[in-house]
């Protein structure tokens, strides 16, 4: 797909959002049936998909203001560690909240993001590696010291539940914008002047490396 158009970015955003929602629903089914490793895996992938939504929404805002670096965007979209860094840095603002989010919850999270200093809540490389390792542990058998363990021996109910809850809250936060409906993202950028659009972008993405 040629990403160098508003329509292409809108399509990518909408499909990525709905895939994340599907993954969360499937994660819940697995969680309810005590398949904790796979529940953890799908919830983690859903969070990565929502990070792609953030990248795409940031991209369309930048595209309105100046030319879009499509190659850079594609590289960011396919880099797992970039998505983990972005997603879980944003999830830091959402800790303590549960799904379904209320409008007040969403405004509180938005306010936290708006006042955060650049770089605040950005997770470390060590934390990124740990999250990526846990993702791999949720579907690969691996060696841990002198022991070989399968995923069900590594991923606990608590880990799976925490990951699912993070994914569900992140979904709720993104859903409030309704950018996934129709041409929601396109309408946003077309109906705002560049100065207002820059302000919106800074509120949502301040302190987070989007692409």
pLDDT digits (tens, 9 = 90+) for 90-129: 898 898 999 999 999 998 988 777 655 444 556 889 999 9
Pairwise CA distance, residues 32 & 190, whole Å = 43
| 121 assigned to some structural domain | yes
- Quick one: DSSP state of residue 142? E
pLDDT at res. 72: 74
| 1 assigned to some structural domain | no
pLDDT at res. 150: 97
pLDDT at res. 168: 98
With a cut of 70, which residues of the chain have pLDDT below it? 1-4, 64-69, 114-122, 196-211
pLDDT at res. 2: 55
Sign of CA dihedral 164, 167, 172, 175: negative
DSSP per-residue string spanning 113-129:
HHHPPTTTTPPPHHHHH
| 112 assigned to some structural domain | yes
pLDDT at res. 1: 46
| 106 assigned to some structural domain | yes
Domains held by the chain: number: 1
Contacts of 77 (CB under 8 A, 6+ apart): 52, 55, 56, 83, 211
Cβ count near 38 (within 10 Å): 20
| 174 assigned to some structural domain | yes
- 36 CA to centre of own chain: 21
| 132 assigned to some structural domain | yes
pLDDT at res. 118: 44
pLDDT at res. 115: 56
Full domain range(s) for residue 167:
6-205
pLDDT at res. 76: 72
């Amino acid at each position: 797909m040629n990403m160098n158009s508003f329509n292409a970015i809108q399509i990518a955003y909408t499909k990525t959002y709905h895939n994340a929602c599907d993954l969360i629903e499937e994660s819940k089914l697995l969680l309810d049936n005590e398949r904790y490793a796979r529940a953890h895996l799908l919830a983690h992938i859903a969070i990565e998909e929502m990070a792609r939504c953030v990248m795409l929404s940031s991209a369309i805002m930048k595209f309105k203001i100046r030319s879009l670096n499509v190659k850079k965007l594609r590289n960011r979209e396919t880099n797992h560690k970039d998505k983990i860094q972005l997603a879980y840095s944003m999830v830091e603002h959402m800790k303590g909240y549960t799904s379904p989010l209320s409008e007040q919850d969403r405004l509180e999270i938005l306010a936290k993001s708006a006042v955060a200093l650049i770089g605040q809540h950005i997770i470390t490389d060590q934390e990124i590696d740990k999250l990526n390792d846990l993702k791999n542990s949720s579907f690969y058998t691996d060696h841990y010291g002198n022991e070989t363990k399968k995923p069900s021996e590594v991923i606990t109910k608590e880990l799976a539940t925490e990951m699912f809850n993070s994914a569900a809250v992140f979904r709720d936060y993104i859903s409030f914008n309704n950018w996934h409906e129709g041409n929601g993202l396109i309408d946003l950028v077309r109906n705002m002047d560049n100065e207002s659009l820059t302000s919106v972008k800074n509120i949502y993405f301040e302190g987070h490396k989007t692409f």
